[in-house]
Amino acid sequence: MESALTARDRVGVQDFVLLENYNSEVAFIDNLRRRFRENLIYTYIGSVLVSVNPYKDLEIYSKAQMERYRGVSFYEISPHIYALSDNTYRAMRTERKDQCILISGESGAGKTEASKKILLYYTVTCPTGDHMAALGERLLQSNPVLEAFGNAKTLRNDNSSRFGKYMDVQFDFKGVPVGGHILNYLLEKSRVVHQNHGERNFHIFYQLLEGGDDDLLKSLELERNPQNYNYLVKGNCPRISSINDKNSWKTVMNALLVIGFVEEENLMNIIGGILHLGNTQFGEGEEGETYVTNEDQILTLEKLFGVNSSALTEAVTHKKLTAKGEEMISPLNFEQTLSARDALAKSVYRRTFNWLVEKINQSLAQKDEIHHSRKDFSVIGVLDIYGFEVLQHNSFEQFCINYCNEKLQQLFIELTLQYEQEEYETEGIAWETVQYFDNKIICELIEEKHKGIISIMNEECLRPGETCDASFLEKMEDSIGGHPHFVTHKLANGKTRRVMSREEFRLLHYAGEVSYNVNGETILKQNEGLWHKFAGASKSHCFRRKEVNDQKRSETASTQFKNSLMKLMEILMSKEPSYVRCIKPNDSKQPGKFDEVLVRHQVKYLGLMENLRVRRAGFAYRRRFEAFLQRYKPLCPETWPNWNGCLSDGVSTLVEHLGYTPEEYKLGRSKIFIRFPKTLFTTEDALEAKKPEIALILQKSWRGYTERSKYQLIVIQSAWRGMKGRRRAKRRRQAADLIRRLIKGFIYRHEEYGPENDYYLHHIRYSFLKNVRQNLPKNVLDKSWPTPPALLAEASDQLQRLNMQNMVNKYCNRVQPEWKKQMMQKVVASEIFKDQKDSYPLTVGRLFLDTRLVQRNAFPCASQYGVPVVKYDRRGFKPHTRQLLLTNTFAVIVDRNKIKQRIDYAALRGISVSSLSDGMFVLHMPTSDNKQKGDAVLHSFHVIEVVTKISMMACKINYVNVCPGSIRFSVARGKEGIIDFVRGSELKVAKGKRGHLLVVSVFEPNSRKSLAILVR
């Protein structure tokens, strides 16, 4: 992928290790400058990233750029902070080892920017978990807040970090960021009360005055003009063009919200309070005591700090002394009061800053309990610490800063050498030591127990009674006077002595000589007591931290700092380090300007040349076998296109073919080490030369491959098409055949069954039978039936008959005995009366009953049927109401309980009814029988039912006569009577002409009237 580098990326060497003349500082700086000119601000020394501040926005930090660097190996692409970030991340994931990225360089060299780029890279490119989105935002937003409170404009940097910051980002096993934690180091709190000319206080003061709304300022009793505040005027530079305080204010307020600050926390009260504290005026009393002249100011402070005004006044005008084990409060003079006031302001600010970091840490802390309980996450720590600093007047704070840089340099030396050495060891390569300056001696000078500068400083601070800077200096001269890196005015030679004051000591740091002023070092001590008093009295959240109640003798600031540094070193040592070495190209913050002297100085003290030498002492270049083989295999016929044997053999074969001499390279266990860059360059050139050839081969084989693929595609396509076509043709043929057979069959349909028409006839038969099956009659009354084709007429009839028979059988089987009886009677009635008697059709739908009598068993004999009748006298045709009862063998006419006449069925001669719709019927008896009273002339409304039943019971169905016109009947002793039947308009039974009985029926078929009569 090195081929991905553009010509521009290839300016100079992108890794100093490849510099031919690696001992030459000139060549080194020339390479830096050539790349800087092309805006190539990043260059490696092996795995160390050197970065030169461009002082202008480069288009190299976009999301697309991040994607370019994701998962790509270090050397395959142009150097970048993202490459380092990505490599660190991958090392953490694959090796499951905590990592740290140490960013160093002097103020304004771009450390903070680098750390922000790293953080941004992780928040954008890492996989996201459930709460990652919010966490990423909080991680990013912690920066503007910390910068507002911890950064300031200095001469070197408009946004100089005035505190050291170590930030851990915690990742779970899937590589998802799950939490973060910040450690802060030694805030430069002297800035709160004093700024050098051209410098400013911490940004937040100006942001508040510029951006805070009127209501807020009013409640804090502040005015917009920074010139009104003593703590903001010292540098005489309240506004500068590169800083927009108003916008920053908005950003900070928003960031505070994201992090989860709430208004009650009154952060701004403290910032406002500090400004007011700076404006507190003091007067001197007659006895030298000090008092506050503007009491209003104290009342405002009481409100803003939430502290009792008298406690506050006492805190700044008195001091605590311990003499002979007793604590005493004694007044301070005017000068001392001003110092105490400033010390208080610094203390308040420092603690507020610490509290702020604590709040941010709470917000970044992992919310997930699982991660708390088990250490199943890895971290990447990013250290952005203040760079080595030499000012005109260097105080205690510069001492701490530079001490910190000494320590980091130590760590850098130890770890890089150690790593290098370890690598040779693990790879089994002989290693020769390289000379380099080890700054351990300076670190010891500062921190050694009992003898070191910090120890002496502590002793002096903790000594009871008045402290004295002069005695501190003397003590140092006594103890460490002979040390090659320590000089005082007294110890110095003539030349140095001329530039040193008597209140200074000079340290020869690895990065240069610095003179420190001892003035005021020890004032730190006494203010702690007053601080406790102040904080104890305050209601503000920010001061209520654990340390407030910590009444035990507080450690001196230097010890605290030393201890925190030790802890930091421990943290860093436990991790796999990566380095970013930042270089500042000029002092005027100008883009494109490369100040060679300045750069040379930095290259020197950052130890970059040594770093390079160490790296080169052994071998300039190393790469894992597989990577080396993969890249250069086209250069050897045995390894091209693929090497199938063991990797080291492949590499051996390859380098032998390339003609490497034994001193040029060594094979380790997993890596090849190449001693001279030239060897590598020759190999690279060979590869470049070979590329067109490879490209041609690749092109050819690619074309062959694509053509082959295309051809295969065509073969498959045509086979498929052929198959589909054949199937379609077959279907078409079958269809045509069928149609032909049907047409032929139709033509020959009337012929004998044979090959011409068999298919057609079979089809017709099949269709008809299917049709019949689907349309069978639903019941016996349903006479529908599909029309059969001629040739199936007979079969159809048979089928219809069979079907009907079947339905009838089924129907009959379902009929109940009573219903059967009814049916039989109805059948008999039909046989007798159908088409004979007018009233018959109307009775068909009405059921025959077992009796028509209301009192069923009125008559004792076993009657089967009873019906009320009217009996007409044979002579006078007088009507009498009677009942007719039928038994199994005879019928009787009864008048209530009295039998009037018995008619034996055996003797019954016949039964006559009229053909009209009347109810008359005559039971003919034998005339010869004297016992009989002659024929019975009766009338019933149920004549059809009665007659049917009698005829059936007497088994004399054929004896029923339906007589049109008239009925003759016998009266006793051979005489005859006649009943005439006519149709008329009114029902009437009366004696008519010639002694006949005349019966008038009103029946008109279907008339309502006749029906009404019938059913009465």
Ligand X SMILES: Nc1ncnc2c1ncn2[C@@H]1O[C@H](COP(=O)(O)OP(=O)(O)O)[C@@H](O)[C@H]1O
Which residues are known to be catalytic?
107-108, 112, 157, 160-161, 387, 389
Bin 4: left if φ > 0, else alpha if -120 < ψ < 50, else beta. Answer: alpha
Q: How far is CA 235 from the centre of its chain?
A: 52
If one asks whether residue 53 binds ligand X (CB under 6 A), the answer comes out as yes
Least distance (Å) from ligand X to the CB of residue 81? Answer: 8
The single residue among 99, 157, 540, 1010 that binds ligand X, judged by CB under 6 A, is 157
Q: Do 881 and 870 form a contact (C-beta atoms < 8 A)?
A: yes
d(CA 16, CA 27): 10
Least distance (Å) from ligand X to the CB of residue 143? Answer: 11
The span of 107-115, 305-313, 499-507, 833-841 binding ligand X (CB under 6 A) equals: 107-115
43 annotated as ligand-binding = no
112 or 394: CB nearest ligand X:
112
d(CA 185, CA 149): 13
108 annotated as ligand-binding = yes
Q: Do 193 and 520 form a contact (C-beta atoms < 8 A)?
A: no
Phi, psi (degrees; rounded to nearest 5) at 867: -150, 140
110 annotated as ligand-binding = yes
The binder of 866, among Mg ion, ligand X, none, by C-beta within 5 to 8 A per type, is: none
If one asks whether residue 245 binds ligand X (CB under 6 A), the answer comes out as no
Least distance (Å) from ligand X to the CB of residue 508? Answer: 24
54 or 129: CB nearest ligand X:
54
Closest CA to 920 of 936, 908, 938: 938
If one asks whether residue 110 binds ligand X (CB under 6 A), the answer comes out as yes
The single residue among 161, 170, 410, 522 that binds Mg ion, judged by CB under 5 A, is 161
The single residue among 7, 57, 661, 974 that binds ligand X, judged by CB under 6 A, is 57
Least distance (Å) from Mg ion to the CB of residue 152? Answer: 11
Contacts with Mg ion by CB under 5 A: the residue count is: 3
106 annotated as ligand-binding = yes
Contacts of 24 (CB under 8 A, 6+ apart): none
62 annotated as ligand-binding = no
- CA quadruple 70, 71, 73, 76: dihedral positive or negative? negative
The residues facing 45 across adjacent strands are: 48
175 annotated as ligand-binding = no
Least distance (Å) from ligand X to the CB of residue 119? Answer: 13
Q: How far is CA 343 from CA 400, 459, 514, 808, in A?
A: 18, 21, 25, 124
The single residue among 15, 86, 98, 113 that binds ligand X, judged by CB under 6 A, is 113
532 or 584: CB nearest Mg ion:
584
The span of 100-108, 406-414, 721-729, 966-974 binding ligand X (CB under 6 A) equals: 100-108
111 or 671: CB nearest Mg ion:
111
Burial of 740 per CB tally in 10 Å (0-12, 13-18, 19+): exposed
If one asks whether residue 107 binds ligand X (CB under 6 A), the answer comes out as yes
d(CA 269, CA 989): 132
Report 459-518 residues binding Mg ion (CB under 5 A): none
If one asks whether residue 160 binds ligand X (CB under 6 A), the answer comes out as yes
The binder of 110, among ligand X, Mg ion, none, by C-beta within 5 to 8 A per type, is: ligand X
The span of 152-160, 277-285, 293-301, 313-321 binding ligand X (CB under 6 A) equals: 152-160
**Tally of residues, the chain:** 1016
Least distance (Å) from ligand X to the CB of residue 192? Answer: 19
The binder of 278, among Mg ion, ligand X, none, by C-beta within 5 to 8 A per type, is: none
The binder of 212, among Mg ion, ligand X, none, by C-beta within 5 to 8 A per type, is: none
The single residue among 443, 582, 655, 967 that binds ligand X, judged by CB under 6 A, is 582
Least distance (Å) from Mg ion to the CB of residue 102? Answer: 14
Q: Buried b vs exposed e over 191-219: b needs ≥16 C-beta within 10 Å? A: bbbebbeebbbbbbbbbbbbbbeeeebee
The single residue among 83, 109, 256, 997 that binds ligand X, judged by CB under 6 A, is 109
H and E: helices and strands count for the chain:
32, 31
Q: Do 824 and 810 form a contact (C-beta atoms < 8 A)?
A: no
d(CA 37, CA 954): 142
Report 362-391 residues binding ligand X (CB under 6 A): 387
d(CA 508, CA 505): 10
- CA quadruple 423, 424, 425, 428: dihedral positive or negative? positive
The single residue among 12, 79, 105, 529 that binds ligand X, judged by CB under 6 A, is 105
β-pairing verdict for 960-963 and 48-52: unpaired
Give 755-762 contacts, CB < 8 A, sequence gap 24+: 761/791
Least distance (Å) from ligand X to the CB of residue 392? Answer: 19
d(CA 427, CA 199): 53
Contacts of 207 (CB under 8 A, 6+ apart): 148, 245, 246, 248, 249, 252
Report 106-145 residues binding Mg ion (CB under 5 A): 111-112
95 annotated as ligand-binding = no
Least distance (Å) from ligand X to the CB of residue 579? Answer: 14
387 or 607: CB nearest ligand X:
387
Least distance (Å) from ligand X to the CB of residue 36? Answer: 12
If one asks whether residue 54 binds ligand X (CB under 6 A), the answer comes out as yes
d(CA 400, CA 454): 10
The span of 53-61, 396-404, 527-535, 904-912 binding ligand X (CB under 6 A) equals: 53-61
The binder of 912, among Mg ion, ligand X, none, by C-beta within 5 to 8 A per type, is: none
The span of 55-63, 294-302, 320-328, 666-674 binding ligand X (CB under 6 A) equals: 55-63
Structure tokens at 23: 């001992």
The single residue among 12, 46, 79, 108 that binds ligand X, judged by CB under 6 A, is 108
46 annotated as ligand-binding = no
The residues facing 319 across adjacent strands are: 330
Q: How far is CA 380 from CA 413, 525, 575, 789, in A?
A: 20, 37, 8, 96
Q: Do 866 and 854 form a contact (C-beta atoms < 8 A)?
A: no
53 or 394: CB nearest ligand X:
53
3-state SS string over 700-765? HHHHHHHHHHHHHHHHHHHHHHHHHHHHHHHHHHHHHHHHHHHHHHHHCCCCCCCCCCHHHHHHHH
Contacts with ligand X by CB under 6 A: the residue count is: 21
The span of 159-167, 629-637, 772-780, 1007-1015 binding Mg ion (CB under 5 A) equals: 159-167
| Residues 623-642, mask of contacts with ligand X (x by CB under 6 A) | --------------------
Q: Do 51 and 83 form a contact (C-beta atoms < 8 A)?
A: no
Indicate the angle between helix axes 267-278 and 295-305, nearest 10 degrees: 160
Report 260-279 residues binding Mg ion (CB under 5 A): none
If one asks whether residue 161 binds ligand X (CB under 6 A), the answer comes out as yes
Q: Do 167 and 197 form a contact (C-beta atoms < 8 A)?
A: no
Least distance (Å) from Mg ion to the CB of residue 116? Answer: 10
Interacting residues with Mg ion (CB under 5 A): 111-112, 161
Q: Where is the binding site for ATP, in residues?
A: 105-112
Binding positions are 105-112
Binding site for ligand X (CB under 6 A): 53-58, 105, 107-113, 157-161, 387, 582
